Amino acid sequence: MLATIILNCLIITSAVLVHYELLNRTSNLLVKYVSTSRFAIVIILLMSLCAHAIEVWLFAAGYYFMMQHGGFGNLTGAFDGSLLDCAYFSFTTYTSLGFGDIAPIGNLRFLAGLEALTGLVLITWTASFIFIEMQKHWNR
């Protein structure tokens, strides 16, 4: 169980740091190089989507690693054991979409629950960031 907690903390910390860095760099990029509001909004949205995609793949890699190294549980259902299926499960969990065709068993359930919570927080953070940046650029 300790190994599960440590891996979960590492994955979540990595996702938060990726998110922070990409939003911070996006903000700095806008200040230095972007002069038109339309272009700024497009850059913000693309960088935000990239951040979320990287975070989902971090969780997918975590699922894959934990399944390959045993003792952490497995994913069941329409799952063939591939990294791509881990990414699919991660996308549905991160966004809280949860189709239910793949389900975690064992200690992977903890990572799935934490991923849903992390996704909620990071998506909300992105929405706040976009709102603030849109106010800056649309008030010019």
Backbone φ/ψ region at 96: left (φ over 0), alpha (ψ -120 to 50), beta? left
Distances from the Cα of 81 to the Cα of 9, 76, 84, 86, 102, angstroms = 23, 9, 8, 8, 11
Sequence-separated (6 or more) residues with CB below 8 Å from residue 7: 62, 65, 66, 72, 111
Looking at mean pLDDT, say which of 24-33, 68-77, 109-118 comes out highest: 109-118
Residue 139 binned pLDDT confidence (cut-offs 50, 70, 90): low
Q: How far is CA 3 from the centre of its chain?
A: 21
42 or 125, higher pLDDT: 125
Predicted local distance difference test score (pLDDT) of residue 34: 74
Residues 45, 1 contacting (CB under 8 angstroms): no
Residue 35: is its pLDDT beyond 90?
Answer: no
**Domain assignments of the chain as residue spans, ordered by start:** 53-140
Q: Has this prediction a pTM greater than 0.85?
A: yes
Domain 53-140: give its CATH code.
1.10.287.70
Q: How far apart are CA 25 and CA 59, in angstroms?
A: 22
Intra-chain end-to-end CA distance of the chain, in Å: 53
